[in-house]
Amino acid sequence: MHGITIQYEFDGDEVEWNDAVTAFVQAIDADTDIAGRFTYRVTKAKEGNKRIHWGQWDVPETVQTLQSRDYFKTFAGKLQELADGTLSPTPVSVLHRTKA
């Protein structure tokens, strides 16, 4: 299993942020080439302005397919803008996880 953790600070317009994230998640769910093979979770720290995104996928080709999509390119650019220079992505390999 492959993955990425993305962390950043955000203190801007919550509606704009939510709309961008919602559109991205909905596009992933609607993409029959990666649905069920790529998962994406977005969280907000209970205190402060930190946001954390987790993406996981089965094989490298899945994320390559995702990255080729226009909706990914749009979201990646918007996330860079919203994070205002604080974006910190970390590619990971998932070594252990629960069944669910």
Counted domains in the chain: 1
Q: Is residue 98 part of a domain?
A: no
Q: Is residue 27 part of a domain?
A: yes
Burial 51-79 (b: 16+ CB within 10 A, else e): bebebbbeeeebbebbeeeeebeebeebb
SS3 64: helix
Q: Is residue 100 part of a domain?
A: no
> Any idea what the CATH number is for the domain that residue 87 is in?
3.30.70.100
Range of the domain at 60: 2-93
What is the reported pLDDT for 96?
A: 87
Query: How would you write the pLDDT of the chain (100 residues) with one tens digit per residue?
Result: 899 999 999 999 999 999 999 999 999 999 999 999 999 999 999 999 999 999 999 999 999 999 999 999 999 999 999 999 899 999 999 888 888 6
Q: Is residue 18 part of a domain?
A: yes
Tell me, what amino acid is at 96? H
